Structure 1
């Protein structure tokens, strides 16, 4: 099976004498696998790889990567896996009942997909993130990374939001772009209003979703701040389309808490910030 590597940054694997001094951060979705490696001694990210998974054989493609990628085969000081699957419910803390996890997911997303139901608790937000991931995938990653820590992408967005902003006034949205997919979170005065994933094919699809969300939540397009990160070129048609309707767009930057191998400079500063942020808010 061919490996469709979209982005790759790395030093030669032989230059790492002891992987036990490094942390591995992995993001897994239905259509991609992304991982980055942090050298703890230097506080420096030294490697990153983003692979587009075969849409018709994603699990086996992912399995092949997990077992045969020379970076993923090593033993690390810490392994953190972030799932990015859209089947997620943010349940208010006082309403959370573990016995309702599966019925709630099945009610909202259907019961055709027989997945593993996981929960991330976010006491700072007084919510529990209940989400579903493919059973075989969770078993694969759990067996390969027996000491791994597992979270959902929405959980990491909220944790990072707490770190960098606290309670801010007005409306702002976090946008994390992937090819044909957008993670969207809307905040008002620091309180979460909605978080969901939009799929898109055209630039107009993106603005339609965002304008619709703003209309539903009475957010002013001229006032709301869009904080943009992920795989979005600021010279792309999508970015140009955003500028037509939104006056306050800010491109995220990779956190200054870390150093980065000079090869990272080949890419815009906002490209992989979600992965770097994971290292700050486990």
Structure 2
């Protein structure tokens, strides 16, 4: 850890030229930013970055996208989990994919970008969420093919197993 509350761990065997065989996982919180580069086939973690206690995770992501060479590499898959207050969980019994805008009326914020869904069928509900417009724009510009998840998606994935 350095004086900026950053942790950067890099496997010396990691060759950035092999990034197309790896996945980039990014987590943006209200006051932190983390990412990891992993190879799903070999289950090897090559790079881990974590910054705690930053003023705004989205702004920190925008800053790192301009300066961090690892975020500029081409990956097999990019997944982003972003904290948002604009999230609502709908029981699968009443969830209707064609009524997405009706369900979205329960979101708290009006300054949001696109609507995203995450099916958690194992738990019996589907989550609808919207990221702040600024975050959506950053992801659409720099991590164009990223899949977006709600901030606690990793926790649900662990609980499902």
1:6 maps to 2:6: yes
Deviation for aligned residue 1:53: 6.2
Change (3 A) 1:145 1:87: same
Deviation for aligned residue 1:76: 0.8
Change (3 A) 1:90 1:45: same
TM-score, normalised by the number of residues in structure 1: 0.49
Structure 2 unaligned segments of length 5 or more: list them.
none
Change (3 A) 1:53 1:145: farther
- Alignment RMSD (CA, Å): 2.5
Paired residues, number = 155
Q: Partner residue of 1:120? A: 118
Q: Partner residue of 1:159? A: 157
Distance 1:59 1:26 in 2: 11
Instruction: Using the TM superposition, name which of 39-48 and 127-136 deviates more.
Output: 39-48
Distance 1:150 1:127 in 2: 17
Structure number with the bigger relative contact order (C-alpha 8 A, sep ≥ 6) is 2
The structure having more radius of gyration, on CA atoms, is 1
TM-score, normalised by the number of residues in structure 2: 0.81
Distance 1:124 1:60 in 2: 34
Distance 1:132 1:143 in 2: 17
Deviation for aligned residue 1:162: 1.7
Deviation for aligned residue 1:125: 2.1
The one-character-per-residue Cα deviations of 1:102-136 (angstroms, maximum 9, x if unpaired) are 32013xxxx4x511332212222221112232111
Distance 2:132 2:25 in 1: 19
Consecutive aligned runs of 4 or more in structure 1 exceeding 4 Å deviation: none
Contact between 1:22 and 1:78, CA under 8 Å: does it hold in 2?
Answer: yes
